[in-house]
């Protein structure tokens, strides 16, 4: 029997989060193009409510006959979060379930996908008042570890990397460019990377804050440099069974991806990605890996980028994945939002 990458074992949950409108979107020349129907369904570019125009008490129809038809596309996902949701809500409906998978021995990964300004960093990192799902997930992990401490022992290490222009940098130690190496036993490893041991989720918060200072640009800065880098946060867990001293190693990866707008702009025809002058190589490769996984193609082009090489053992195969597609609510970002929803819809097929 062949036991390679059994597609049926792959589990991906696709989640969409709509952020609240910003100042610009609240102005009256922007309309809302997302209608969240319930916690699984949304409509992209909904038909506007029929608000008949009254003239001498008679409803006048067809005032907008020349207007372009709305697309009125219905999408269904594992979960849809509307603009009132908090990071705690998103955590509870998305990555919380990964903790059991992790402690059962599955590598897990979480991606925040979407155009610049759609809310990826807010979802992953958040702020002091509303910490992101990275914090909540690690806090839950510590609490579950505590619950299991009678029969298992745990050691946790974290790393925080940035991939910018296909260069890998350690955000927690000042180092130069890091290299990926194939290691016969451990798969792909980052040469010279030293995970930092942590004892609780609060230590994580200060590490994340420290790491973000070392990013190419501050992550909340909506300029084009920061939107081109991927932030990869990883937790390595060593689980020791107290009864038989068996050791198991698992990994959780949480990735704040580069903005997807260039992937759209360079003509993502349907769902196929084409190489373009300015397109982010790692984002393109991730899209192609997802496409092949969705099509059930055996060959997955992990080797095509730093990001996909790094995540080879956490994407596809025997892993659990959560994809959070972040979208803005307004018509200003009509094409980006449409493309993000199509990408997310594609990922659902994995």
DSSP state of 205: H
CB of 20 or CB of 52, closer to ligand ADP: 20
In 196-238, alpha helices (H): 201-213
Contact track, ligand ADP, 230-269, x by CB under 6 A? -----------------------------x----------
93 binds ligand ADP (CB under 6 A): no
118 binds ligand ADP (CB under 6 A): yes
> Rg of the chain over CA atoms, in angstroms?
22
Looking at 23-31, 109-117, 171-179, 210-218, which segment touches ligand ADP (CB under 6 A)? 109-117
CB of 141 or CB of 255, closer to ligand ADP: 255
Among 33, 106, 110, 119, binds ligand ADP (CB under 6 A): 119
Q: Does residue 182 sit in helix, strand or coil?
A: strand
CB of 191 to ligand ADP, least distance (A): 29
With vertex at residue 155, the alpha carbon angle to CA 188 and CA 236, rounded to the nearest 5 degrees, is 25
122 binds ligand ADP (CB under 6 A): yes
H-helix or E-strand spanning residue 261: helix 261-265
305 binds Mg ion (CB under 5 A): no
CA distance 238 to 234: 13
Task: Decide if 193 contacts 160 (C-beta within 8 A).
Answer: no
CB of 150 to ligand ADP, least distance (A): 39
215 binds, among Mg ion, ligand ADP, none (CB under 5 to 8 A by kind): none
95 binds ligand ADP (CB under 6 A): no
Among 109, 121, 260, 337, binds Mg ion (CB under 5 A): 121
* Alpha-carbon distances, residue 287 vs 79, 94, 142, 222, 315 (angstroms): 21, 21, 32, 23, 12
DSSP string, 108-170: EEEEEE--TTSSHHHHHTB-SSSB-HHHHHHHHHHHHHHHTTTTEEEEEEEEEEEEETTEEEE
Q: Which residues of the shown chain bind ligand ADP in the complex (CB under 6 A)? A: 19-20, 114, 116-122, 220, 222, 227, 259, 326
Q: Which residues of the shown chain bind Mg ion in the complex (CB under 5 A)? A: 120-121
């Amino acid at each position: 029997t062949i036991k390679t990458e059994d597609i049926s074992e792959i589990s991906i949950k696709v989640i969409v989060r709509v952020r609240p409108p910003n100042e610009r979107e609240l102005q009256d020349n922007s309309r809302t193009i997302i209608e969240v129907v319930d916690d699984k369904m949304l409509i992209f570019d909904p038909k506007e409510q029929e608000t008949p125009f009254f003239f001498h008490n008679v409803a006048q129809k067809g005032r907008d006959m020349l207007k372009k038809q709305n697309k009125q596309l219905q999408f269904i996902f594992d979960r849809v979060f509307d603009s009132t949701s908090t990071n705690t809500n998103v955590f509870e409906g998305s990555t919380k379930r990964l903790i059991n998978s992790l402690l059962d021995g599955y590598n897990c990964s979480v991606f925040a996908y979407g155009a610049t300004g759609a809310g990826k960093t807010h979802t992953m990192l958040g702020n002091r008042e509303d910490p992101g799902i990275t914090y909540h997930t690690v806090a839950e992990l510590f609490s579950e570890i505590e619950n299991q401490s009678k029969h298992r022992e745990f050691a946790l290490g974290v790393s925080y990397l940035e991939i910018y222009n296909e260069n890998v940098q350690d955000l927690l130690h000042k180092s130069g460019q890091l290299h990926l190496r194939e290691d016969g036993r451990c798969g792909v490893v980052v040469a010279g990377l030293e995970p930092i041991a942590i004892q609780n989720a609060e230590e994580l918060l200060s590490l994340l804050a420290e790491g973000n200072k070392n990013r190419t640009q501050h992550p909340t800065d909506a300029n084009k440099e920061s939107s081109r880098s991927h932030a990869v946060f990883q937790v390595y867990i060593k689980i020791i069974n107290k009864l038989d001293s068996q050791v198991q190693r698992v990994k959780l990866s949480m990735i704040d991806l580069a903005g997807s707008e260039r992937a759209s702009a360079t003509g993502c025809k349907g769902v196929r990605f084409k190489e373009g002058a300015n397109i982010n190589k790692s984002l393109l490769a991730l899209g192609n890996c997802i496409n092949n996984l969705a099509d059930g193609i055996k060959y997955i082009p992990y080797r095509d980028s730093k990001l996909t090489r790094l995540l080879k053992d956490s994407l596809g195969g025997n892993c659990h994945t959560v994809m959070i597609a972040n979208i803005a609510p307004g018509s200003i970002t009509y094409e980006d939002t449409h493309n993000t929803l199509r990408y997310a819809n594609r990922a659902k097929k994995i």
